Amino acid sequence: MVFKKIIQKMPLFFLFLIFAFSVSIARTAGAQQTAGSIDIASGSQQLSSIIISVKTDKAEYIDGEKILIFVTAENQSSQTVILNFNSSYQANYVVDKTYSWSSDKAFTQALTEVVLPSFGTKTWEFIHDTAVNPLSVGTHNIQGEVVGYGNSETTFSVAAPPREYFESFENDFGGWVSDHFIDCEHLPPPVGPCTFTWGIERSTAQAQYGSWALKSFLDGRNDDGTIWVEKSFLAPPNSSVVDVALTFYLWSETVSPVNNWPVHAFIGLFNPETELDLPIIGTTDRTKGWQSYTYKKTILTGADGMFWVAFGFGAVWEVERTYFMDSVSVQIGPVSPAPAPQVTLSFTRNLAGGMSGDDVKELQKILASDPVIYPEGLVSGYFGPLTQKAVIRFQEKYAADILLPIGIAQGTGLVGPMTVKKLNAIRVGVPTTTSLIQSLQLQIQELQKQIEDLQNKIKQLGGESN
């Protein structure tokens, strides 16, 4: 009652001051509650201070590996930022614009938020399981998104894995098939039909891995014969360049510096039939016990992608021997498609200054391959003065083939029949597939090695007959 009387007697001015002071306090309290923070609703315009990024844990993966993906929102301002979402769906990633992580997910329909302190970050982690969602070998694009606040992109690659097959003959032959070759040179007395005894079977008498190995017996009293096991494998077809490595173990009972038998191996596109198909990669009896042998080769696959691998040993001395073979590893990879041969044009018309076309462009490419002939190297498809000068240099360089047969001493700059003939010969001779050439070189080296091995064996046989 007393307070009421005091209020009634207070001047109107003082009542106004009290009201204004109360409003000021309320506003200050509200400002203190949200000072230094920015509240952003999902779907609103992205602040320049919020940076979205995406990365993977590696730049390259082997086909079949799981891929770790990190989507990050970074606050680059000095104020706290609150990101608001309409559900538990806050971040996502999309691979190659086809597979979206969120497409088969269910999310809680409840408002969620993420608080980013000043200069702070929030990272969402994902695992892409390639066993569930396979990715082809090659480069892939990945887009990471913070829902409603922006996205970012990066790339990664998937490589074909080295494919490795291992066999220790614990259960069976593992698909390996035994084979042999015999060409009797020394018939045992009494002279009669060639006798040859051999056998390859599983045994527990020796083992390099596990309990089983291949027990391989060869009667070498005819001074000849080779036995082996072989198996076919598959690789990407149609001229794929494939690196193949074969490793196996062979057990010898003793060490012998002179009475060694040859150890053979084979990697190729056909099923080996004779001992000449199998190069010699070493000898037996190098050590007492188990010895590893390795043979590598690069092949160019055919239409079906099939190739063969084989290994074994042959006889040199007129004795009977038993060896064990075990722990076979065949590694296939990496695999890369051979580049398609470049399609080039034949020169079917005479070419002269002022002309143009694809054949002129092809002419310029060949000329430009020699900087002395065509230092400018301009490939325009137009036969101008620079091209004409280059043709003259070309004709004079190959004067014996172009000019002398028609009784001319100096180049004319006109691409006539003799010049066209030489250009076509050079064009055909230009390598178009580097990997194919490398493969052929490897095959030539392999043939040379087989010839050397054969020559050595002939020398050994000649020495024994003496």
Q: How many domains does the chain have?
A: 3
Within a domain: 115: yes
**Which amino acid, residue 145?**
E
Q: How far, in whole angstroms, is CA 36 from its chain's centroid?
A: 52
Closest CA to 262 of 296, 228, 289: 228
pTM for the complete prediction? 0.43
Within a domain: 16: no
Q: Are residues 319 and 376 in the same domain?
A: no
CB count, 10 Å around CB of 139?
A: 11
pLDDT digits (tens), the chain, 466 positions: 444 444 454 555 444 444 444 444 333 333 333 345 666 655 444 467 899 999 999 898 877 678 999 999 999 999 999 999 999 999 999 999 999 999 988 999 999 999 999 999 999 999 998 778 888 888 999 999 999 999 999 999 987 666 789 999 999 999 999 999 887 655 555 555 566 789 999 999 999 999 999 999 998 877 678 999 999 998 877 767 889 999 999 999 999 878 899 999 999 999 999 888 999 999 999 999 999 999 999 998 887 788 999 999 998 888 899 999 999 999 987 655 544 445 455 677 889 999 998 889 889 989 988 888 998 888 888 999 999 999 999 999 999 889 988 888 899 999 988 898 888 777 654 433 333 444 455 556 666 766 777 777 676 666 555 4
**Which amino acid, residue 177?**
V
Q: Which residues contact 334 (CB under 8 A, 6 or more apart)?
A: 159, 160, 162, 243
What is the residue range of 83's domain?
50-159
Q: Are residues 155 and 172 in the same domain?
A: no
Q: Are residues 261 and 301 in the same domain?
A: yes
Q: Are residues 305 and 377 in the same domain?
A: no
128 touches 66 (CB < 8 A): yes
Q: Are residues 76 and 169 in the same domain?
A: no
CA distance 168 to 249: 10
CATH number, position 199: 2.60.120.260
Q: Are residues 251 and 218 in the same domain?
A: yes
Q: Quick one: CA torsion of 84, 85, 87, 93, rounded to 10 degrees?
A: -140
Q: Are residues 141 and 168 in the same domain?
A: no
Q: Are residues 153 and 179 in the same domain?
A: no
CA distance 140 to 205: 52
